[in-house]
Structure 1
Amino acid sequence: MAYSSHCFFFVSVALLLQFLIAPASALPLQSTQYIDDLCKMPSIDDKTFCLQTLTGYQGAMYAGSSITLAQIVISGLLVPHVQKTMRFALLTSAKEPPSIKTQFMTSREYLRTVGYSLAKAFDQLAVSPRSSTQDVMSCTDQITKVLNLIGKNQDVASKTLIEMTMRMKKLLPLGVAAAQAVAG
């Protein structure tokens, strides 16, 4: 009796999941076309990373236009990563010796500038996509400053901050390409 009720439960769950989970063929074709187009932009060096990142991010999969996809890339992928990296730099700096603390606080300021640039880019997408593209591109300079400042350090916290910053450096081309796609 217990065996049959367990089987019934698992079969019921399996059937229910088939209805709740949309198959890949049910995903909006237009959204995947926007992603494909974005990942084919000349500013994207790692097309595989672009496709994996955007198709793995549910918000991007349901973008209804290139501007919506650009907004999702900036506000859903780039900004949260910058915020996370800034929080790490701030919280970790309190535990570090003075020389590293200063470097982490300076890095946080560079990252804050990245955050401001991304916010400006987001606001400008619909009005001036070319300005938006420039704002995202300017983040590369700030990221390079962080890498140059912290890159020589060998402590665990610095290595973690470098990894987070390198991830941001890898995500930035997605934001550039997204803004460029809106600009046409």
Structure 2
Amino acid sequence: MASSPNCFVIVIFAVLLQILFVSASTKSIDAICQKVTDKAFCVKTLSAYPPAVSATTTFQASQAALSLSISYAGKPAAFAAKAAKENPNLKKQFAGCQNAFMTIVASLRSASGELKESPDTANYDVMVCRDSTTMVKSLVGKNADMASKTIVNMTLMMEKILAIAVGAIEAVGG
């Protein structure tokens, strides 16, 4: 019976830690999403990304948002590479899309590395990614084939994720 009060204390302590942990990550996600136009999309996206949810500081949540952005940018790059192989008539355009997304990946990696020391530079690196998304849309935006439409849709999603990355950097002070 002496262990029963100890178990109760441990359970209460564990519940309080979870509340504090969730509260810290929620505040960090909210700090980022307050800087974004589509707040609902931002909260939904970051709340579904375990590194952002487990972040205990806004800086960690911002790093997670940049990591998510890098991860996503690799997907359309890979899709464009595959489309270039499968569509010889549009090979040049799809290769251009792949290069644009690889440029986005490089810029986001640079931003992630600069976040702590130079948030303003990190912000610039992410903002430059918009040039690449514009390039993709001009390369394949008028095409009627399914691969082009898919890349355009992935590009539109990339723009929404880039907005989260900008919000993350601004939340840190960029």
TM-score (norm: length of structure 2): 0.86
Equivalent residue number for residue 78 of structure 1: 69
Q: Contact (CA 8 Å) 2:100, 2:136: kept in 1 or not?
A: yes
- SS at 1:94's partner residue? helix
How far apart, CA to CA, are the structure 2 residues paired with 1:170 and 1:180?
A: 15
- The match for 1:107 among 97, 106, 128 is 97
How many residues were matched structurally? 158
Q: Contact (CA 8 Å) 2:32, 2:62: kept in 1 or not?
A: no
Q: Deviation per CA, 1:126-170, whole angstroms, max 9, x where unpaired?
A: 110111011111111111110121100000111111111111011
Deviation at 1:65, TM superposition (A): 1.4
The answer as to 2:164 corresponding to 1:174 is yes
How far apart, CA to CA, are the structure 2 residues paired with 1:26 and 1:118?
A: 30
Q: Deviation per CA, 1:13-42, whole angstroms, max 9, x where unpaired?
A: xxxxxxxxx8x857421111011111111x
The structure-2 alpha-carbon separation of the partners of 1:180 and 1:45, relative to structure 1 and needing over 3 Å to count, comes to same
The answer as to 2:54 corresponding to 1:62 is yes
How far apart, CA to CA, are the structure 1 residues paired with 2:74 and 2:47?
A: 22
How far apart, CA to CA, are the structure 2 residues paired with 1:50 and 1:115?
A: 20
Equivalent residue number for residue 88 of structure 1: 79
The answer as to 2:144 corresponding to 1:150 is no
Q: Deviation per CA, 1:80-109, whole angstroms, max 9, x where unpaired?
A: 1111111110011111033x1100001111
How far apart, CA to CA, are the structure 1 residues paired with 2:78 and 2:46?
A: 24
- State the 4+ residue runs in structure 1 displaced beyond 2 angstroms: 24-28
Q: Contact (CA 8 Å) 2:21, 2:56: kept in 1 or not?
A: no
- SS at 1:28's partner residue? helix
Identical-residue share of aligned pairs (%): 36
| Contiguous gaps of at least 5 residues in structure 1 | 1-21
- The match for 2:26 among 15, 21, 32 is 32
| Contiguous gaps of at least 5 residues in structure 2 | 1-14
The Cα RMSD (Å) is 1.6
Equivalent residue number for residue 173 of structure 2: 183
How far apart, CA to CA, are the structure 1 residues paired with 2:116 and 2:21?
A: 25
